[in-house]
Structure 1
């Protein structure tokens, strides 16, 4: 028998992998007090002080003895709680207590070589499941919790330090940014973040973070940055070579990332031994020969996801290279199932692939995904799949990977074509259903009325979801007998129909109603409206927009709903709910609101997405021409973001909801909103390389604009849809839409629209190798931009013309146009455009034999690209620079430059460019 204890999160224990009920909060406090000093005697007075502090009950020693007796019964004889020398001792192997295992792993990591230390730190930090002793609130535990949090933070910092020494700055940067934001006055963290940003080519952000830290230290502590932080800042300003990552140690992006995407393990899992054994047997029998695929099927609420997660956490050691997870939303009542390409894109992000490196073609994306997971021992969980077609593109090709799929459908095609092992999941057997109730309520309460227990199980049809809700209601109402609960369920059955899912004969409405009926009126109204929200999850601000309540009030209501187990909060600030619960919520909304009220709520939510997205887009692209979106309707909450990072994070979190919202407004014929949502997501899609999503939203937008009959918006939609088609290689479609945009703009004397359309046509023609025709469209675009006074786009078009002319060999005109563009960019402080133009001037200087000037232009462009963190264009400029260095006879410098370009091309999976550079390196080898 193996007993394990966990305190780095909620206090719990398991025996042979099965969680045991530890009783009320004070009883868990007693166990925690013994676990902190495992294998050491804790005096009785110490225990009492730790558990009760100053609030000691009458006859406290008797109460303590009672708690200890119950713990002995729950835990058995090993580990043993014994009375010794005026106190109590819990004897156990320290490795079975996560707190002591954490401390041992951290201690070992601090004395190990860096490669080993990195692994040990990761293992230590993965033991944390949240706040230590979560849910227990006594003064002594608060002090211990604070100390443990300091230990955890120190371990995080040491882990980051090791990763930076190994050159893994790109891998730790996202986590480092989050931790630094939570600890803005920690100078060690500030220095680590500055170094990681600098090494990632984001020098400007590194310098900006130093200035923010310096200001905060002065304002809040009245001090200056330490000498070490000031020295690091000076090294960044001077591009000190000592800050370069260790040679040869920076792992290629996409291979170094170890994703850990599994949701938390199920808190209450009972039975299913046969099904767990089937999953293990599939892996043991077929491992090494082909991809192991198990397809778990069963009704909604039957526990498919919990089964898969339970097995996954029991077998984590089999998958050291990571775990991928996606909810495919195959039966989401509020929207369409997730597209395979969307899930694939999420996997590539998790595997560390830069956006610019992701191919446009879905088949190429799938090939890249399979290449990245090849030979890696990984678990891939495809949850809530609709059908075989949805999951097939997400299957790896390597026999080292294991795939677990859940679905309400049988997925017979997957069994036939891929040899998947089907695992059918039925309702809980009667004994397991009883065990589940015992786990929540204790043996005595369940055994007190076997008939009522049987009736509850029958009414819940053995469905774990329903039984869990029943148990939760009983646990929160200890004075309510199981017989009364069973009678209440029978009463509800007489006046509510069974929830018709087509899969289970049970009265889920009645079960859900227990939690719903106990809500305050405002929380009940919010719960109903949440069922209407498009997309997989929602923020507090989105929920506030649905209800027209203040954000602070809505946040309190969301806590009430979470306490009632009607919503979950898988990540801080973001909420979701089970799809069957969402169906019930929608029913309640339609019972308690008029159709006009529901429509108004949805309009407030859509306006939240439109106006917050519009503000975020302006932060990402301040030079973009403004589009009028009007004022949000009353009650719609518009989030305010401080900077580009916050805007980017908002789009990333809300992206699935924005797509779902656009589909909702298209279905409701809210044409203006459909067009506006395409507009606000355009910059994000463009920068993230989510080209197919961009194409899809502009197709919807164009259809909406045509229904509106508004020529100006149609002009925009045709042009931006044309741009989207260029990016995905649909050249004929691109030309059609761009010519239509030009025709509409000419018909309405829209000079700016004509310029934009001609610039787009020039770009499309260049992609087809028609540089002369491209130039013929760029020239009138320039005249039109000059006519309407658009200096940013005048500069863009001047550089565009100069580039086409340089490719055509017209170097004098090319140089004049690019120099004019450079002057404009510098006046209007557009560093992206400036860097692009410097690269063009470098190309022109190289082609005309001015190698020294070419060298200078390329080096200026590189400095700007690195400040912007634009590694995609940095790689191209490095390639150009190296060619110039070769002609200058600087072969060693050229080889170093090409080596850096090769690293970037490989990280971006630009195979053609990488092969070209390898050829250059071979040609110039000594």
Structure 2
């Protein structure tokens, strides 16, 4: 297709392009690349004109004239400026008045999301069609100096040694837009001279740099062409030193090789002299470190340099402030799927569903190199014998082993590419990288990584910094570090080949020790009842450095960040390995689970903990785990299973001569009976609970026992006794330290709310419930917030306030449903009855 079609075809082309954009969701830039023309050409066609024709808005050559035209358009619509503003999302009347006066016209957005000016033009009341909006967008670009229109580049543009573009290149729209923006900034003389593309090996840095370097806009901006040099930073051969690099660049610039010699300083002077007056793009590919790059950076302001590297070249900022960094992540799900379909070809890919294509891309970690290799392997060896889904499952079993085109070409092996990055690390960073492959969680903190490798804070921070600079680790805004899936497989493979079984076992012991010895004290901050059921912990192994917390919020934040990794680590231990730590990890996580209402979480760990406790032959430990399992089953409505666990826990606590464990079990039996409506039985269990704690001399236990007894006395109508026991519980609670008082006090207030509500004092009951609600929200007790809202709804309903009851029940239902709690059904039934008609 030519860049300037005959006039008779422009209208049909505009209609087709508009339909294509709407149906596919592609951007103008993507369509331009598909058609092999400039973005400004596609915009012109969309506007119903040939490239170079400004259309009906050619006269809008200043912001003031554009403002006058907008004012007239609003008047023609029959609306006021206020009405237009009120019907346009995120656009105020004051902003529109600025534009009408020709002031503060915004630059176009960098991404695909429309900005306020786009939203105004899209207001249906203005009656602008797509063609007109595209034309007005180009007017805005012209007036703000961001027009993509550029003079056509020469056909014999000197690319020199720049590699050919990858015909399968797809996606990277956001990155290409950022590079285009850099080009515009450079054109106005405000840009830095360097853009650094960094990312893990195989992520497509070179492909992006080459694709962009060959774009129409780049060729137009740099008529003297492009210099390209592979610096071999992570190749099998030694990295290209600056002297070699300068020599090769001078040869590309046409300097006689016989005259290219001398000291590095002399070569650098020749290089700078040869660049004078030239407008060149310089691509320095596969750099290893800053000293390799720095001598190759020109002083010539008309030249722009793009550097690609697996390392983050932060040191260049010290000598070249303002460097533009562009860190490449793996492809998005949509981009990866598009690349898979492109590589497999229409005949092969058309029979695969979106799910199969997405799974294929996911098995490759959405890494471009991996997708290219997997697609080539499938087409070469499997297309006639396996479906795409079958090949994907085969690939998932041994990703790194199968992501290689052949033994004779290391550049087409994902593992070989990663090996090259690994070899460039120092010994401490290599060891940490290997051991991180053992961690099954999504990410780690610096403290956790230190315990895993047995490093102190300074040593681990240095190793993490090196791995992050090498793009082998990603650090997020929380300061946590994660490995790409394929890098995790790579690290795990190396540690199995390099580190002994003993060393790996010691690392996992340190990791579990860190988790358990951090989590257990933290859990005591969250759940006061766990103090009565304390378990003895062995000393942490040498090299483990558990964290400590002094306040509940910090402990809760730690659990939020670590519970997934801790669960996976403990549940994944082979039978018989660290049995004590496995069941203790489950016990430490139990307090967090209760606070967050995580009824289904850690199920695999709890059963692994039960098996570990049984192997150890410790009845007290087994009783702890049975109580944990009963809590989950009770909340999920599996009452028979819950009761079986509690009966077993009662028996085991008796065998262990553990009266506190027996008391805790009676408390759980009371709760189970209460949920089933057997309140007299629940009251009797509560009395036994209280007796055992009184005998043990536990003030916390006595406070809890009095509370539970009072609650169930209220349920059977013994309100005087209930009120007395709840008030006694509150008195005992006041004797406790504040840290032990917080959740217990909230539970007592809740029971007092129930008793006063049953006695008809709705005002006082409401006051107690609101205090309970506020405290539980402060403590992050999600499930208890839902339960309190349900009780508050009951109170409002009994007082005849149907609207307040509906509001409380609806909020309660959202929380209880999220946690799959059994009382959600009761609240749902209450709402249905409320909505059905009068009480």
Same fold (TM over 0.5): yes
Partners of 1:753 and 1:713 in 2: how far apart? 10
* Deviation of the 1:781 alpha carbon: 1.0
Match of 2:280 among 61, 66, 69: 69
CA contact (8 A) 1:822 1:837 kept: yes
CA contact (8 A) 2:753 2:765 kept: yes
CA displacement 1:808-858 (0-9 Å, x = unmatched): 222222222222222223443423333333332232233233444434434
CA contact (8 A) 2:679 2:712 kept: yes
| Corresponding residue number in structure 2 for 1:773 | 681
Aligned residues: 560
* Deviation of the 1:766 alpha carbon: 2.2
Structure with greater contact order relative to length (CA < 8 Å, sep ≥ 6): 1
CA contact (8 A) 1:50 1:141 kept: no
- Structure 1 residues 266 and 571: alpha-carbon distance in aligned structure 2, compared to 1, 3 A threshold: farther
Relative to the length of structure 2, the TM-score reads 0.55
CA contact (8 A) 1:878 1:898 kept: no
- Structure 1 residues 277 and 6: alpha-carbon distance in aligned structure 2, compared to 1, 3 A threshold: farther
1:244-643 matches, cutoff 5 A: 264-265=330-331, 275-276=341-342, 293-296=355-358, 306=368, 408-409=392-393, 458-460=408-410, 462-463=412-413, 465-466=414-415, 508=416, 512-564=418-470, 566-569=472-475, 573-577=479-483, 582=488, 585-586=491-492, 588-590=494-496, 592-622=498-528, 624-625=530-531, 626-641=534-549, 643=551
CA contact (8 A) 2:595 2:782 kept: no
Gaps of 5+ in 1: 75-85, 91-131, 146-261, 311-387, 389-403, 413-425, 430-455, 467-507
CA contact (8 A) 2:593 2:599 kept: yes
Relative to the length of structure 1, the TM-score reads 0.51
1:120-131 matches, cutoff 5 A: none
CA contact (8 A) 1:541 1:551 kept: yes
CA contact (8 A) 2:526 2:591 kept: yes
| Corresponding residue number in structure 2 for 1:82 | none
CA displacement 1:697-728 (0-9 Å, x = unmatched): 23222222222222332332333333333233
1:473-872 matches, cutoff 5 A: 508=416, 512-564=418-470, 566-569=472-475, 573-577=479-483, 582=488, 585-586=491-492, 588-590=494-496, 592-622=498-528, 624-625=530-531, 626-641=534-549, 643-828=551-736, 829=738, 830-868=741-779, 870=781
- Structure 1 residues 308 and 904: alpha-carbon distance in aligned structure 2, compared to 1, 3 A threshold: farther
Partners of 2:562 and 2:404 in 1: how far apart? 37
CA displacement 1:204-228 (0-9 Å, x = unmatched): xxxxxxxxxxxxxxxxxxxxxxxxx
CA contact (8 A) 1:879 1:898 kept: no
Point out the more displaced range, 854-863 or 807-816.
854-863
CA contact (8 A) 1:7 1:133 kept: no
CA displacement 1:33-62 (0-9 Å, x = unmatched): 764365x356xxx978999xxx99757964
- Structure 1 residues 865 and 266: alpha-carbon distance in aligned structure 2, compared to 1, 3 A threshold: closer
CA contact (8 A) 2:360 2:392 kept: yes
CA contact (8 A) 1:283 1:292 kept: no
Gaps of 5+ in 2: 1-36, 41-107, 112-147, 149-164, 197-264, 286-299, 305-311, 373-386, 397-401, 818-823
Match of 1:913 among 815, 827, 837: 827
Point out the more displaced range, 718-727 or 604-613.
718-727
CA contact (8 A) 1:608 1:632 kept: yes
Partners of 2:439 and 2:578 in 1: how far apart? 16
* Deviation of the 1:682 alpha carbon: 0.8
Match of 1:137 among 317, 334, 338: 317
* Deviation of the 1:609 alpha carbon: 1.6
The residue matched to 1:631 in structure 2 has which SS? coil
- Structure 1 residues 296 and 461: alpha-carbon distance in aligned structure 2, compared to 1, 3 A threshold: farther
Point out the more displaced range, 133-142 or 827-836.
133-142
CA displacement 1:228-252 (0-9 Å, x = unmatched): xxxxxxxxxxxxxxxxxxxxxxxxx
**Larger-Rg structure:** 2
- Structure 1 residues 924 and 137: alpha-carbon distance in aligned structure 2, compared to 1, 3 A threshold: farther
- Structure 1 residues 273 and 597: alpha-carbon distance in aligned structure 2, compared to 1, 3 A threshold: closer
CA displacement 1:497-540 (0-9 Å, x = unmatched): xxxxxxxxxxx5xx554444443232333333333334454433
CA contact (8 A) 1:297 1:304 kept: no
Partners of 2:746 and 2:423 in 1: how far apart? 62
Point out the more displaced range, 783-792 or 656-665.
656-665
Partners of 1:596 and 1:427 in 2: how far apart? 30
The residue matched to 2:569 in structure 1 has which SS? helix
CA contact (8 A) 2:809 2:827 kept: no
CA contact (8 A) 1:714 1:741 kept: yes
Partners of 1:709 and 1:920 in 2: how far apart? 53
Q: Does 1:36 align with 2:20?
A: no
The residue matched to 1:557 in structure 2 has which SS? helix
- Structure 1 residues 772 and 406: alpha-carbon distance in aligned structure 2, compared to 1, 3 A threshold: farther
Partners of 2:337 and 2:609 in 1: how far apart? 50
- Structure 1 residues 565 and 713: alpha-carbon distance in aligned structure 2, compared to 1, 3 A threshold: same
- Structure 1 residues 705 and 844: alpha-carbon distance in aligned structure 2, compared to 1, 3 A threshold: same
* Deviation of the 1:771 alpha carbon: 1.8
The residue matched to 2:540 in structure 1 has which SS? coil
* Deviation of the 1:680 alpha carbon: 1.3
- Structure 1 residues 922 and 867: alpha-carbon distance in aligned structure 2, compared to 1, 3 A threshold: farther
CA displacement 1:395-416 (0-9 Å, x = unmatched): xxxxxxxxx999831799xxxx
Partners of 1:801 and 1:913 in 2: how far apart? 24
* Deviation of the 1:690 alpha carbon: 2.5
* Deviation of the 1:681 alpha carbon: 1.0
Point out the more displaced range, 911-920 or 538-547.
911-920
- Structure 1 residues 648 and 858: alpha-carbon distance in aligned structure 2, compared to 1, 3 A threshold: closer
The residue matched to 2:681 in structure 1 has which SS? helix
* Deviation of the 1:641 alpha carbon: 4.0
CA contact (8 A) 2:316 2:323 kept: no
1:219-238 matches, cutoff 5 A: none
- Structure 1 residues 702 and 871: alpha-carbon distance in aligned structure 2, compared to 1, 3 A threshold: closer
CA displacement 1:426-458 (0-9 Å, x = unmatched): 9899xxxxxxxxxxxxxxxxxxxxxxxxxx994
CA contact (8 A) 1:878 1:901 kept: yes
* Deviation of the 1:632 alpha carbon: 1.0
CA displacement 1:44-84 (0-9 Å, x = unmatched): xx978999xxx99757964765873226999xxxxxxxxxx
CA contact (8 A) 1:651 1:684 kept: yes
The residue matched to 1:690 in structure 2 has which SS? coil
- Structure 1 residues 816 and 872: alpha-carbon distance in aligned structure 2, compared to 1, 3 A threshold: same
